[in-house]
Every structure is written in structure tokens, then in C-alpha cells.
Amino acid sequence: MSSDKSTIDTSKPGGGTPAEEVPPATVAAIDPRLLVREQGFKGYITEFQRKLKGGELGSLPVIVGLIIIWTIFQVKDSLFLSSSNMVNISFFLSGTGMIAAGLVFVLLLGEIDLSVASVSGLSSALFAIFATTHGINPWLAALMTLAIGAGIGAVHGFFFAKIGVPAFVVTLAGNLGWNGLMLWLLGSTGSLSIADTGPLHILGQRSFFMNQSIAGAYVLATVGVAALLLGSLVDQTRRRRANVPYRPTSEIVLRTVALAVVAYVAAFVLNKSSGVPNALVIFLVALVICDFVLRRTTFGRKVFAVGGSIEAARRAGISVAAVRISVFAIAGFFSSLGGLFLAAQTYTATLQAGQGNLLMLAIAAAVIGGTSLFGGRGNVWSALLGMLVIQSIQTGLDLLNMNQSIQYMITGAVLLAAVVIDSVARRTQKASGRA
Amino acid sequence: MSATPVLALRGVSKRFGAVQALTDVELEVHAGEVVALVGDNGAGKSTLVKTIAGVHPVDDGVIEWEGKAVSIVRPQDAQHLGVATVYQDLALCDNLDVVGNLFLGRELLRFGSLDEVSMEKRSRELLNTLSIRIPSVRIPIASLSGGQRQVVAIARALIGEPKVVILDEPTAALGVEQTAQVLDLVERLRERGLGVILISHNMADVMAVADTVHVLRLGKNNGSFAVKETTNEQIIAAITGASDNAVTRRQARNAEAAK
Ligand SMILES: Nc1ncnc2c1ncn2[C@@H]1O[C@H](COP(=O)(O)OP(=O)(O)OP(=O)(O)O)[C@@H](O)[C@H]1O
Ligand SMILES: [Mg+2]
């Protein structure tokens, strides 16, 4: 195995057994004081309780919160859980969710990017100017826009990583500056309308997976469930062969069933109306890719390492500056992509794009979803979970004809609650030795 | 022992603001040699290690690798040459698990993505040879005891193919069994022809495994001794800078009392 060639043979002199043939002495090395999970269903419950006490809340608060929010709105207005409203929520959460996904990378470093909303607004303007004013092919225009977005992020990253300006100051300057550039670009024309073609058609409200075919939603659900099941089984086999601990089959079945229930119920509900919006499909695909990058690649490992300890990462030979610049470029890219999603909601590049509470909502989504503001902990799925909460609140309050002022206050309170949970969880983790 | 040292410091100096941490320090490490670096607290041992490891680039002087002058300005430079370092302050990422920390910066890959299974298997084997009991290699470093972290840091230095291993007080937090294992490990590294720099305040450990002892005092060389021809007292005198020191006075008092 390749691993053996790259490691000093530390077997004791005289022993002479190659590492491969050492019997799994690991059994003996397990500390008897370690709390091992009991077999069966009871085991899951006790482990779950232990994790809660240790402050490892994960996605639990947001799922509980979501259930509460949905119950309240459903009681107030029976249309809330209707199929068409769910299609609405799933469509409108994708744009801001895309921005939040990029922010997750930045939050994992323990930093913040305050420019994401302005960059998304600027991107919608740039796209409109490329595609509408100059008549460039919309696909090319989208590529150019995304490249500029990533470039802007890299510039922020450069000032932060190489010059040493605190990230929040650089991106605060960017927040104002890029908004100014957008206003200047649109100054002569005002709002620009965008044709319903190419990438913007796919991201728009009238575009559904497999053209609203009933099969579409079920295909997606099946692909997701099958991928999880297959991945888990392959992983289990490899681990069993390598003699390292593996997930018991019961746990794999439990997880797969849980995902299957959620996926098929969602598919059924969305199908009663028009199916799965393509914007949501693209958002989900992007999340799968981001999740892979963060958990399965060396780059992702570096992001977590820098978020955990900058000095340890540096001494391990990681170029901290390169990681920082790439992460801010990723945030810029996703802001830009989110900007295209948002522009596609109205097929216009407006002077108001990227203003108002977009920045706060994107940050709130990532934090509400369970990514820590303190760096080193979190995952991209928090962008989806957090946006589900936020979009549900917004849509619910819209249904009840509540004023925007109320929406701001409630969203603010939810963000505060999320940050409080994050801080308390971190304190508990420290107390129980996990932070 | 080969003629050209694998690693040599020639007149290395390093200052931090007003503190001259190292002044014209000389040091040679040959392949298959264990060099102990001793000195009082604040003598500059850790600083010396960090200059070799590329954490703090030297201000003055030359670092030679296999006879050729090299420039080590980043930790990567030292790693590429083949220097593996266990730092006194360990430098581990609290949020990553044991496997993540062990392989940080040189993860094993399989089809371009992280090969968690091989890394986990290798980690368990490595930790077993160091006789450490760790509940699971999948728990975050934050939940380990001080000694367990230290063993993880030591194991980290054995991944990759170093030619020189630097251990900065590797046994400071370890129990008797684990200390013995680390000393065994140092001897195994020497048998394999690696150069080892060992920093320790424990003279018994130093005398047990080292070939040469270098004394640092106030950032300067204060003598270098071949272990076979030296007594404990000579080295302690060099560390404290006088033959009349706290250690000898205490011994004299105890001898008096025993009479
Ligand atoms: N990063 C730094 N910035 C400023 N001064 C430093 C720094 N690192 C070390 N020093 C100074 O350099 C001197 C040598 O420190 P060093 O850590 O090398 O001592 P040491 O020999 O390793 O001591 P110990 O046995 O206590 O570990 C000390 O006076 C210390 O204050
Ligand atoms: Mg030291």
C-alpha cells in the first residue's frame, strides 16, 4: 500500500513483522473508560443524549426551529404548507442560498465577508450589460460575470491575506465600493431588463426539472437516496476490509430511510404543483460539490485546518495566504452566481439589487444552519437549512400580509437566537473538552 | 558516522525585537546520530529548532544540508529537505480529529480524494507502536489529554520520510511507559540512519540515548560533549555556567546532611 512507503517503519527491532500483518491490536488499545455505543436502537438514543449534553448540536436546533415555524404559519394560514407555496419557498431560497454557501467557506476560516450582497448586485448588472446592452451570448456573459465575481473575491482575499487588512474591513469597503460601481454602470440606463433565455431561463420561475414531468422529482429523490446508500455501503466494505471501525448496517439503513422519507415527501408535495424548480436543482448540485470539496479533498482539509489553528496549519506546510485568497474567491464566485439567480427572479438588473437585507439574510442563513462564526466547524448544508428557515419566515409573513418591518424584526431575532445557540454550544463544547 | 553532517548550522543568529535569542550558534547533526540540545529555560533551544524548521527564518548565518547551504524561510522548505519537527507547543488543530492532524499537509489520496480508510488504518498502527491509548482516532484533538496530544504530535513527525527528526521536549507530558517508548523510538530512528535532535531537561534521558550533547546558554554555544566521555556534573556546569551552581550546592548540602 502506498501509505507504507511514505511512513517510517516504527515496528520494534527484532519484531520484524511488516505493518500490514500486525494483528488488529487496536482492540487492546481502546480505553476501557471510553463510552462505547450500546447495540441497537437504545444505543442511538443514549449517544444522541450524550452529544446534546456535550454541545454537539449540529443541525438539531434548526430542524426543531423549522418544525415550530411551519406549525405556527400553518395554524395561522392553511395555505402555508400547500404545494404551490412550497414550490415558492424552494424557488426563492436558491439565490440567497447560493450566496450563503460561499459564505460558509469564509465562516469556516473564522472570517466574514460583508461584500457578498454588493458583489451579487454588481453581477446582475454586469450580466445585463454583457447580454442585453452588448448582445453577448448569454452563456458567455454568465461565464464572464462569474469570473469577475471570483476575481473580486480574490482581490478581497489578497488584501486580507497578503497585506494583512482585517477581512471585515476589506469586505466592508468592498460592500460600498462594488455597490457604487453597480450604480455607476447602470447610471445611464437605470434598470436593465434581461431576456428569458440561456442560463437565466434555467434559473427563472418558469423552468422546472424535466419540464414539470411527474417523474422529475422522483428521479431526483431516487438519485439522492441511491447515492447515499451506495456510498455508505462501499465505505462500509472498504473499512471492514481494512479492519477499521465502520458504520453498522442498521445505522446505514436508518440514515437512508430518513433521507428517503424527506426526499420522497418533498417530491410528492412539489409534484402536486409544478415540480422541482431548476434553480433549486442547481443549488443542490452546487451544495453536493461544495460538500465533497470540503470533506473529501486536501483543499477542504486545509480550510478546516486554517480555521482551527493558523499557526498549526502554517507549520504543517500549508500556505495560509493561498487558502485565504482561494476561499474569498470562492465566496465571490458564489455571490456572483447568487446574483444571477436573483436577477432571474425578475429578469431585470435593478438599481436596488444587492441592497436591503440580502447581506444579513445570507450570513443569517449560514449561521442559523449551524456553521459556527468562530471558524473550523460547520458544513455547506447549513446554507440550505438556514435558507429554509429564512424563506419560510418571509413567505409566511407575506401570506399573512405582514409589513416588511415585522419581517426584519423577526429575522433579526432568529439570527440572534442562532448566534446565541452557536456561542452557548461552543462554551459547552469547551467545558466537555470538545473545542 | 559519515563525514559530512546531514544538517549543520554555521554562526546562526536570531533576534526578537530587543531579545537576542541566538548568537553565532554552531550545530552539527550526522546521519545516525542523536544530538541532545540542553540548556536552561529561555536558553534559546526552541528558537533554534524553529529556525531549522522554517518557522522563524534566521537573521544571520548559514544552514547547511548535506554540505550545501540552503535557505529555509518557510516550514515547507524544511519539510521538502526532510526535516520533521515535534514542537514544544505541539501545534495541532483542535477542530480536526487525530487522523486529520497526523496527515495534515500530506494526506493520502485515492482517485484524487482523501483516502480516509488508509489514513485511519495507518494512524492506528502508528499510535499502537507508541503504546498510547486513545479512545478513537476519530475524535477531535481537543478531547485528548496533554500526553495523548504529545504522542499524536510525535507520531505526526514519523509520517513522510524525514532524514532529520527534531523533538522539542517530547516526553515532558508523558508517563513512564510512554517515555520509555519514545526513547526506544529515538534509538530506532538512529538505527535507521536518521539524524535526531532531542531537547530535554531530563539528564537521565539525555545520557541514556544521546551520542552528543550540545549546551546552549543565553543563546550561545556553551560546550559540546561526547556522552561516553562526560559526566552529568560537567554538563550541568555548562548549562548553569559555573561549577558552583544551585545543583552542586544542593548535592553538597544533601551529602553533608547524610553524614
Ligand atoms: N516569538 C518570540 N517573540 C519574542 N521573543 C521570543 C519569541 N520566542 C522566543 N523568544 C525569546 O527568546 C528566548 C529563547 O526562548 P526559547 O523558547 O528558545 O527558550 P528555550 O530554550 O526553548 O526554553 P524552555 O526550556 O523554557 O523551552 C527567550 O528569551 C524568549 O523570551
Ligand atoms: Mg523551549
Boundary-marking domain end, from B138, B161, B184: B161
Do B178 and B127 sit in the same domain of this protein?
no
| Rg of chain B on CA atoms, in Å | 19
In which order are the strands placed within the sheet that holds B68-70?
B19-29, B7-16, B60-65, B68-70
> Does some domain include residue B190?
yes
CATH code at B63?
3.40.50.300
B103 to each of A211, A316, B38, B106, B156, how far by Cα in Å? 47, 9, 30, 5, 7
Distance B41 CA to ligand 1 centre (A): 8
Asked whether the predicted pLDDT for residue B252 surpasses 80, the reply is no
| Residue contacts between A and B (CB atoms, under 8 Å) | 151
> Does some domain include residue B76?
yes
Average pLDDT of the residues of chain B:
89
Residue of B nearest to A32 (CA): B135
Q: Tell me the pTM.
A: 0.89
A41 to each of A46, A47, A250, B35, how far by Cα in Å? 9, 10, 9, 56
Residue of A nearest to B105 (CA): A316
Do B197 and B143 sit in the same domain of this protein?
no
User: Checking DSSP bridges between strand B83-86 and strand B34-38, what pairing results, if any?
Assistant: unpaired
> CB of B56 closer than 6 A to ligand 1?
no
| pLDDT bucket at B148, cuts 50 / 70 / 90 | confident
Do B111 and B140 sit in the same domain of this protein?
yes
Whether residues A7 and B85 touch (CB distance < 8 A) is answered with no
Measured between beta carbons, which residues in chain A are less than 8 angstroms from residue B124? 26, 29, 244
Q: Which of B14, B19, B20 to mutate to test the pocket of ligand 1 (most atoms within 8 A of CB)?
A: B19
The separation between CA B181 and the C-alpha centre of its own chain, rounded to angstroms, equals 15
Whether residues A243 and B114 touch (CB distance < 8 A) is answered with no
Q: Which of A106, A189, A4 is nearest to A374 (CA)?
A: A106
In ligand 1, the atom with minimum distance to the C-alpha of B39 is 21
Boundary-marking domain end, from B161, B194, B209: B161
Nearest to B105 among A4, A318, A377 (CB): A318
> CB of B21 closer than 6 A to ligand 1?
yes
> CB of B30 closer than 6 A to ligand 1?
no
Q: Cell 426563492 appears where?
A: A92
Do B176 and B192 sit in the same domain of this protein?
yes
Q: In chain A, which residues have pLDDT < 50?
A: 1-7, 9-30, 435
A376–chain B Cβ distance below 8 A for any pair? yes
> CB of B88 closer than 6 A to ligand 1?
yes
Nearest to A434 among B119, B136, B143 (CB): B143
ipTM: 0.89
A435–chain B Cβ distance below 8 A for any pair? yes
- Between CA A119 and CA A180 the distance in angstroms is 11
Do B157 and B29 sit in the same domain of this protein?
no
Measured between beta carbons, which residues in chain B are less than 8 angstroms from residue A304? 93, 95-96, 100
Task: Give the residue with greater pLDDT, A23 vs B138.
Answer: B138
Do B24 and B143 sit in the same domain of this protein?
no
Do B34 and B154 sit in the same domain of this protein?
no
Do B10 and B71 sit in the same domain of this protein?
yes
> Does some domain include residue B241?
no
If one counts the domains in chain B, the total is 2
Reduce the DSSP state of residue B246 to 3 states and report it: helix
Do B119 and B217 sit in the same domain of this protein?
no
Report the amino acid identity of residue A256: T
> Does some domain include residue B123?
yes
Whether residues A298 and B107 touch (CB distance < 8 A) is answered with yes
> Does some domain include residue B180?
yes
Q: What does the pLDDT read at residue A434?
A: 52
Protein residue with least CA distance to atom 6, ligand 1:
B16
Boundary-marking domain end, from B161, B178, B198: B161
Whether residues B192 and A8 touch (CB distance < 8 A) is answered with yes
> Does some domain include residue B240?
no
**What is the distance in angstroms between the Cα of A110 and the nearest Cα belonging to chain B?**
12
Distance B42 CA to ligand 1 centre (A): 5
> Does some domain include residue B42?
yes
Q: What does the pLDDT read at residue B52?
A: 95
Asked if residue B36 lies in contact with residue B200, where contact means CB atoms within 8 angstroms, the answer is: yes
Do B2 and B70 sit in the same domain of this protein?
yes
Q: What does the pLDDT read at residue A21?
A: 35
> Does some domain include residue B115?
yes
Measured between beta carbons, which residues in chain A are less than 8 angstroms from residue B190? none
Task: Give the residue with greater pLDDT, B247 vs B41.
Answer: B41
Asked if residue A335 lies in contact with residue A155, where contact means CB atoms within 8 angstroms, the answer is: no
Domain with B22, as residue range(s), is 1-82+162-228
Do B146 and B112 sit in the same domain of this protein?
yes
Whether residues A12 and B184 touch (CB distance < 8 A) is answered with yes
Measured between beta carbons, which residues in chain A are less than 8 angstroms from residue B135? 30-31, 33-34
> Chain A, 23-62: which have a CB under 8 Å from a chain B CB?
25-26, 29-31, 33-34
Q: What is the 3-state secondary structure (H, E, C) of B96-156?
A: CEHHHHHCCCCCCEECCEECHHHHHHHHHHHHHHCCCCCCCCCCEHHHCCHHHHHHHHHHH
> CB of B50 closer than 6 A to ligand 1?
no
In ligand 1, the atom with minimum distance to the C-alpha of B169 is 27
Nearest to A296 among B91, B96, B114 (CB): B114
A124 to each of A23, A165, A346, B223, how far by Cα in Å? 61, 28, 11, 70
Measured between beta carbons, which residues in chain B are less than 8 angstroms from residue A6? 106, 108, 159-161
Q: Give pLDDT tens digits for B47-95.
A: 999 999 999 999 999 999 999 999 999 999 999 999 999 999 888 999 9
Protein residue with least CA distance to atom 5, ligand 1:
B16
Asked if residue A257 lies in contact with residue A77, where contact means CB atoms within 8 angstroms, the answer is: no
Do B14 and B119 sit in the same domain of this protein?
no
Q: What does the pLDDT read at residue B116?
A: 92
Nearest to B159 among A7, A312, A435 (CB): A7
Asked if residue B150 lies in contact with residue B172, where contact means CB atoms within 8 angstroms, the answer is: yes
